[in-house]
Structure 1
Amino acid sequence: MIDLDHLETLHRRLLWLSCWTIHNANHLRDKGEGEVKVGGHQASSASMAAIITSLYFHALRPEDRVAVKPHAGPVFHAVQYLMGNLPLEKLKNFRGYGGVQSYPSRTKDVDDVDFSTGSVGLGAAFPIFASMTQDYLRGHDWTGKEGRMVALIGDAELDEGNIYEALQEGWKHDLRNVWWVIDYNRQSLDGVVREGLWHRIEAIFSAFGWRVVRLKYGALQRAAFAEPGGEALRDWIDACPNALYSALTFQGGAAWRKRLMDDLGDQGAITALLDRRGDAELAGLMENLGGHCLSSLCEAFDAADDDRPTVFLAYTIKGWGTPLAGHKDNHAGLMTPAQMEIFRGAMGVPVGVEWEPFAAVPDESGLRAFLSGVPFFAKGRRRFEAPALPRPERVKLSDRMLSTQAGFGKILDEIAKAGGPLADRIVTMAPDVTVSTNLGPWVNRRGLFARAARADTFRDERIPSAQKWAFSPKGQHVELGIAEMNLMLMLGATGLSHSLFGQRLIPVGTVYDPFVARGLDALNYACYQDARFLLVGTPSGVTLAPEGGAHQSIGTPLIGMAQDGLAAFEPAFLDELSVIMDWSFDYLQRDGEGDPNERTWLRDETGGSVYLRLSTRPMEQPQHRGDPGFAEGVIDGAYWLREPGSNAEVVIAYQGTVATEAIEAAGRIGGDRRDIGVLAVTSADRLNAGWTAARRARARGHATAMSLAERLLARLPAHCTLITVIDGHPATLSWLGAVAGHRTVPLGVEHFGQTGTIGDLYRHFGIDADAIVAAASRIAPGRPIRLSA
């Protein structure tokens, strides 16, 4: 049953509260000296108000999840305020420090945000991967009542390329239980969208198997079309260019009448149809598009009662119901104080009660009773928790010569073979690089996931193959197409499974390390939502030497250092990798309050995601190092591979696969330079983060706060020189010189590589043993470093 009276009231309430919130932030609240505009997108909020009203107060159920169009954030927060889920002070401080965020954020906002939005296109695509996650849980018998994953998006978001990558991935995985509602207001930031875009939208979604529901005409328009002359009016609306429709909307009823009479008048029936309506009524008719008509919206949502993916193309007017309606500059526009008073009159809100939830409501008790029975809010806040999974015994490899990438594959295979609660909850994924990133053994043991079983044809036909790739609902590997954005979005969705669905998963995704950058926006988005996953970038650096520069990574260590919510490691040896993976399975599941560890000053108790930068380069492995101090150093970020003496002149600090070169160089220069030390850095990210955190702690009065980096380097004499080396950008480690003021020679890779052998490229970039020795030979205690021979 559709309660249109209460829905109409709520629509007006949401429209008023969202616009007043933005007005208050820009015109009434003290913005501070020098601040001119806060912003907030009143017009974009207005075009979504009816859609959000009909969804949240009629169509949705508690198990449904919604990604709200970023620029409609004020409407969403108004919904939460009306339902008592958001304090008034938060709403008053919209876009201010400590207030509700500019765009809905599940980590920064206190109300019930399902999916963060902000970087356009990502919030639209994310429900696809949340639905795939829900299907994965269903296949493993881990889910209860299933919900719809809903995206509310602007038509301009359809320009984002990741939208179409996601649609294709959804088609491959038999997508279901997804709704997209497109706010088709035909205006973007800089203008009006191209004519006929709706044809392309409908064709694209139909091609991927979606049901397309076009919501173009509201109930008033459909009734008018049934009158004599109504068919001519509908034909005129269909032929009217987007820009003209917007312009006439802004101009109002008189302009509508003149244009319609000029184009259609003196035709008897159509003239009578127009004459039966005053200017205000005519404007209301012409603006009564499907996306603003609550009865049309509710009926369309009710009719989509199966699990087929559905897109609703909802025609709207940007700024509907406000003085900004239809103007091409309204995207970032704000109502002036005078316009707000006109709007206040239209909304019937008296002065002094602007923030009252039920101001200007004719039947407050009836509305409160209605709200108490709205299904979507019936179960309260919809955030779940899941118990932490116990870690299995740490896998220790005994290989004497192996790469970290191969070691990663062997560790996962051993976990798969041993089984247990954590092994059963691991879900791996890769963008068409499963075999080449060493996930093959895991997949052979655990299978590939699909909603319906699919046989391995090659195996059935008795054709020899190393891969046993049968698909089933119980499989634990999700094979994705070669689109890194989709990988990061799927990692984000599965990495939120514990909060969205109450079932914990341990997502592990692999990607060629240089192509981490291709998915960086989605990776940042996943971290911003506090999703938990293990991302493995491999092969890294220039070690994939024969492939050339396009398959070699330079800046990814800096990405690992800069990305919030992601602990980045680059182990050189298998025992380091083993320690890191074991720690990661615990770190992914932590959810503490964030008090810093006073040994490292890192807030590890909050948990987070982990990024491993691995290599295909086989390396000779050291003997087993099992002492607690070693494991602690590996996790904290560094340890002494070779302790420096009290009068050390040179310390070589390396990260990753250049360990071989660093060790060789240390041995060669040890006879000429006293007390040389070798510092094994396993995580420049954590080492740097601990250093900066300790400095902040001292500034706050913790006088004894000292980071690992400071403890490691404080023992070195002032004349000691650091030579840092990495198969990546030299800035990754060059900051070490600032910790205690030591001179530093940073070696690394700054330019695109080329084809060749690893030896060729290491010589070319000056990160081989000869280059390290040469750097040491130019160092004289107490004198400036000579940068050339």
Structure 2
Amino acid sequence: MDSTRKAELKAIEKKLLWLACWTIHNANHLREKGDGLKVGGHQASCASMVSIMTALYFDCLRPQDRVAVKPHASPVFHAMQYLAGNQTREKLEAFRAYGGAQSYPSRTKDIDDVDFSTGSVGLGVAITAFSSMVQDYLAAKPWAAKRPEGRMIALVGDAELDEGNIYEALQEGWKHGLRNTWWIIDYNRQSLDGVVREGLAGRIEAIFGAFGWDVVRLKYGALQKAAFEEPGGEALRTWIDGCPNALYSALAFQGGAAWRKRLLDDIGDQGDATALIERRSDAELQELMTNLGGHCLETLGETFAEQARHDRPTAFVAYTIKGWNTPLAGHKDNHAGLMTPGQMEEFRATMKVREGHEWDLAEGLDIDEAALREAVLSTPFFAAGRRRHHAEPVATTGPVALDDKVLSTQAGFGKILDQIARSESKLAERIVTTSPDVTVSTNLGPWVNRRGLFARDAVADTFRDERIPSAQKWAFSPEGQHIELGIAEMNLFLLLGAAGLSHSLFGERLIPVGTLYDPFISRGLDALNYACYQDARFLLVATPSGVTLAPEGGAHQSVATPLIGMSQDGLASFEPAWLDELSVIMDWSFDYLQRDGEGDPDERTWLRDETGGSVYLRLSTRALEQPKRREDEAFRRGVIDGAYWLREPGPNCEVVIAYQGTVGPEAIEAAGRIGGDRRDIGVLAVTSADRLNAGWHAAMRMRKRGHRGAMSHIERLLSPLPSHCTMITVIDGHPATLAWLGSVCGHRTAALGVEHFGQTGTIADLYHHFGIDADAIVAAASELAPGRPVRLVNPL
């Protein structure tokens, strides 16, 4: 690195440190807030990352590289994008305020060039490994454009390594031959509450090494390495290596005089070591002792360049000082600490920033604005402009018709996917499936048999080669379209998130389909939320569901998942009962997850379907006798909108039974039994409580805004019912999923469902126990009959 470029990088490093700290100070101490609450912003965590991000972005990265930024370094990232012209002063001044730069980098809410949203610690780290796997998957496909391979990079706080999902990802990466992945660990040795345990660096190296990663320590900066070559330098090095983390941090906070006293007490010999210390002023000694590898642009640049020569996964342990070069440096309380106005003025003087010029690009620097701008924009990473790709949608093939008379929705899903696998359609080509070691038991077996398992290098099916009969073909090849995962739902959702962003990250459209057991959605819920927050697009197929999985007992029977489907933003949730419903929903889903419109609502439903999103199917193992196949447009529209009348209510309807999912036969049986005593019974087939509820709330919001005629789908369905009509809702899941239907038009409602952990038994046993069988529905109708006292109790 020549002297000119070194000076440019030092100027960028200084400016990023100032802007990050000033952005946070402005938000907390200068901007009008009204509520008086602390805004926050992590000045110390920003300071420890400044040098690493400067060396990485301005001396190492290429446009094809992708970075997940440590959440608490968000202000540094925004400052960097401000220098590059991708962020505005107005957004920085509104940091952590409405409409401003986000607290943590966000792909969907920030205007600057965010590769991966971060914020739920650990997940932004792990998704880089799965993005590298997706990149390898695309590189193996003949239909994918050949692009330069990028590195998937995570900037990681050392305390962030406490997150368990990181280690689950390490094992999965080892199984798949992970490449082109860097995790750069900000080893500042401080967490939110204190200082990390001694010896953590050694543990990190051992763990990463065990999974085949290169591990590179960046412990000493150029000043320290030069000092070690002086007489007495070896004693200094030995002292640094043996110094406890807490003491090193405390001395960094106290400054040069404290360093001098401690070093002279511990290694002063009235000879070489003493002379080494005495040759330096207090300021020079502070600079020397805080010149760790993670704060030395020269050391960082050389190390990154060396590791860039190969594609092995690499963990960099970069020693830093939390709060480096600020008045907060090293203090154990600095994680959420803020510089006081007095400390900020001290910092301002150090940075040579004049009052009123805080946002000026070159203020306090030894280069002018034009030179700074040129230094930034000539960097390969920024020279290419914004790096998000676009991929054209893939046409769907239309609903797949199944002729089975009796079948479960889980088995129907497998048959539909198998029919798609038989085709030579572009849709079939772009589908990639994955599952956490439940591939066969979630009915992906037929798809895998036709399309194969993916691996960069071919692996034969030994059982088949040895002529041992097996229903499954388990051979791996670059042509395969199923990515096998171990039993870790976090990894499933992280892979779906990475594959669901392939069109934006890599310019190639994938249709990711992930399957898992419905009750175990909760085990990966953080990663599911994270994938949706990034606007990743995928089809999630969860089966088997509910107490319908009767013999398996409570640990395998899901209760709350319908509510998760309703509450999770970015995820349209469906629970079909019948095969023709499932077929329509799957075809719609493959199109929906590719949409990226502006979000104007459909005035028929008031749902913003143009924007697209991901889809969750809650399916069942219970085989049901199928109704005659329905193919008319009104039926298909009702299925997608969330409900349709399976039995149209008459003008004097006294009871409506609304069901979702596999309890459809119980609803139909109960309607037949009630029909002799009650007039004009209606049966409402709900395919998506999620979409019904979303449309209802959207229509109410629109009416408040002056659209008086706005009416949701569920309001059109229920508004003709007489006011005395009773509604009974039933689901193999939490009753709150459908209980709100009574609020739409004010009908009395009995909500039947499952509120407690399940247990073993037959379907009939459990439906009777939880009060969701036909008897329970009939009893509820009797309890709520017009003219009788209403007692909302379990009739059983």
TM range, smaller chain: over 0.9
Deviations, residues 127-167 of structure 1 (Å, cap 9, x unaligned): 00100000000011324111000000100010000000001
The aligned counterpart of 2:354 is: 350
Deviation at 1:544? 1.3
Worse-matched range after superposition: 361-370 or 298-307:
361-370
- What number of residue pairs does the alignment pair up? 788
> How far apart in 1 are the matches of 2:646 and 2:270?
92
Determine helix, strand or coil for the equivalent of 1:435: coil
Maintained 8 Å contact 1:453/1:472: yes
Question: Which residue of 2 is the match for residue 591 of structure 1?
Answer: 596
Which digits, 9 at most, give the CA deviation of each residue in 1:754-789, with x for residues without a partner? 111111111110001111111112122144422456
Give the superposed CA RMSD: 0.9
**Does residue 301 of structure 2 align to residue 311 of structure 1?**
no
CA contact (8 A) 2:726 2:785 kept: no
Q: Which residue of the partner structure matches residue 209 of structure 1?
A: 212
Provide Cα deviations, 1:201-260, integer angstroms capped at 9, x if missing partner.
000000000000000010101111111111111111111111111111101101111111
Contact conserved, 2:83 with 2:373, CA < 8 A, in 1?
no
Aligned equivalent of 1:269: 272
Secondary structure at the aligned position of 1:100 is classed as: coil
CA–CA distance in 1 between the matches of 2:270 and 2:563? 70
1:570-598 superposed Cα distances (whole Å, 9 cap, x missing partner): 00000000000010011011110101001
Q: Distance in 1 between matches of 2:377 and 2:444?
A: 50
Q: Cα offset for 1:370?
A: 2.4
Secondary structure, counterpart of 1:183 in structure 2: strand
1:561, 1:568 within 8 Å by CA — same for their partners in 2?
yes
Partner residue in 2 for 1:187: 190
User: What is the aligned partner in structure 2 of residue 456 from structure 1?
Assistant: 461
Counterparts of 2:373 and 2:16 in 1: how far apart (Å)?
Answer: 15
Aligned equivalent of 1:73: 74
> What TM-score does the superposition give when structure 1 sets the normalisation length?
0.99
Of 336, 341, 344, 2:340 maps to 336
1:126 aligns with 2:127: yes
Partner of 2:227: 224
Which residues in structure 2 correspond to 1:291-302 (within 5 Å)? 291-302=294-305
1:361, CA displacement in angstroms?
2.1
Counterpart in the other structure of 2:609: 604
Matched, 1:481 2:486: yes
Alpha-carbon distance between aligned partners in 1 of 2:270 and 2:481, rounded to the nearest angstrom: 67
Do structure 1's residue 174 and structure 2's residue 169 form an aligned pair?
A: no
Structure 1 window deviating more from structure 2 (476-485 vs 137-146): it is 137-146
The residue correspondences of 1:639-658 to structure 2 (distance < 5 A) are: 639-658=644-663
1:31 and 2:33 matched? yes
2:395 maps to amino acid: P
1:537 to 542, 546, 553: 542
Q: Which residue of 2 aligns with 1:523?
A: 528
The Cα offsets for residues 319-339 of structure 1, whole Å up to 9 and x where unpaired, read as 001000000000000001110
- Which residue identity is paired with 2:482? H
- Secondary structure of the equivalent of 2:324? coil
Q: Return 262-271 or 132-141, whichever deviates more.
A: 262-271
Cα separation, 2, equivalents of 1:268 and 1:756: 83
In structure 2, give the amino acid aligned to 1:13: K
* Equivalent residue number for residue 360 of structure 1: 364
SS state of the match for residue 749, structure 2? strand
Amino acid corresponding to residue 441 of structure 2 in structure 1:
S
CA contact (8 A) 1:720 1:742 kept: yes
- C-alpha deviation, 1:648, in angstroms: 1.1
- Of 612, 625, 633, 1:628 maps to 633
Aligned to 2:556: 551
Partner secondary structure for residue 660 of structure 1: helix
Which digits, 9 at most, give the CA deviation of each residue in 1:295-352, with x for residues without a partner? 0100100000210000100000000010000000000000011100111111111221
Of 7, 10, 16, which residue of structure 2 is paired with 1:8?
10
Structure 2 distance, partners of 1:384, 1:290, is 35
**Long gaps (5+) in structure 2:** none
1:190 CA displacement: 0.4
1:429 to partner: Cα distance = 0.2
Q: Does the Cα contact within 8 Å between 1:404 and 1:618 map onto a contact in 2?
A: yes
Corresponding residue for residue 95 of structure 1: 96
> After the TM superposition, which of the residue ranges 622-631 and 365-374 deviates more from structure 2?
365-374
Which amino acid in structure 2 is aligned with residue 235 of structure 1?
A: T
Partner of 2:441, secondary structure, is helix
The answer for the alignment partner of 1:471 in structure 2 is 476
| C-alpha contact 1:120 1:160 (8 A) present in aligned 2 | yes
SS of the counterpart of 1:436? coil
Partner of 1:582: 587
Letter in structure 2 aligned against 1:44: S
For residue 330 of structure 2, give the secondary structure of its aligned residue in structure 1.
Answer: coil
Q: Residue type of the partner of 1:37? A: K
- Which residue of structure 2 lines up, in the alignment, with residue 285 of structure 1? 288
Matches of 2:377 and 2:685 in 1, distance apart? 61
Q: Alignment partner of 2:662: what SS? A: helix
**Inter-partner Cα distance in structure 2 for 1:512 and 1:57:** 45
Q: Aligned partners of 1:723 and 1:693: how far apart in 2? A: 24
1:369 Cα offset (Å): 3.0
Q: Give structure 1 regions of 4+ aligned residues with deviation exceeding 4 angstroms.
A: none
| 1:689 counterpart residue number | 694
Residue identity matched to 2:392: P
Within the candidate set 428, 432, 437, 1:427 is matched to 432
Q: Could you tell me how far apart the structure 1 residues matched to 2:791 and 2:30 are?
A: 61
Q: Is the aligned partner of 1:256 residue 2:259?
A: yes
2:167 equivalent in structure 1: 164
Query: Which of 736, 743, 748 matches 1:743?
Result: 748
TM-score by length of 2: 0.98
User: Quick one: which amino acid aligns to residue 95 of structure 2?
Assistant: F
Give the structure 1 partner of residue 414 of structure 2: 409
Q: 1:400 aligned to 382, 397, 405, which one?
A: 405
Distance 1:370 1:707 in 2: 55
Q: Distance in 1 between matches of 2:321 and 2:695?
A: 51
Between the aligned partners of 2:788 and 2:776, the Cα distance in structure 1 is 20
Summarize deviations over 1:475-507 as a string: whole Å, max 9, x none.
000000100000000000000000000000000
Letter in 1 for 2:418: D
1:5, CA displacement in angstroms? Answer: 1.1
Give the Å deviation of 1:36. Answer: 2.1
**Would you say the 8 A contact 1:443–1:476 is kept in 2?**
yes
Task: Name the SS for the 2:434 alignment partner.
Answer: strand
Matches within 5 A, 1:47-58: 47-58=48-59
Q: Is the 8 A contact 1:719 1:782 kept in 2?
A: no
* 2:47 maps to 1:42: no
CA contact (8 A) 1:149 1:179 kept: yes
The letter of the residue matching 2:612 is: G
Deviations 1:90-139 (A, max 9, x none): 11110010000000000000000000000000001010010000000001
Specify every segment of 5 or more residues in structure 1 that has no aligned partner in the other structure, as ranges: none
Amino acid at match of 1:61: R
1:362 CA displacement: 1.5
Match of 2:737 among 732, 742, 751: 732
CA distance, structure 1, for counterparts of residue 261 and residue 117 of structure 2: 45
- CA–CA distance in structure 1, aligned partners of residues 291 and 280 of structure 2: 14
Identity, in percent, stands at 76
Deviation at 1:267, TM superposition (A): 4.1
What SS class does the counterpart of residue 626 from structure 1 fall into? coil
Task: State whether residues 105 and 118 of structure 2, in contact with CA within 8 Å, keep that contact through their aligned partners in structure 1.
Answer: yes
Q: 1:17 aligns with which of 16, 19, 23?
A: 19
Q: Distance in 2 between matches of 1:36 and 1:424?
A: 53
Conserved? CA contact 2:83–2:376, under 8 Å: no
2:511 to 506, 512, 533: 506
**Is this contact kept in 1: 2:553–2:759, CA < 8 A?**
yes
Which one is further off, 502-511 or 775-784?
A: 775-784
Cα deviation for residue 543 of structure 1 reads 1.4
CA distance, structure 1, for counterparts of residue 600 and residue 407 of structure 2: 38
Shift of the alpha carbon at 1:357?
1.2
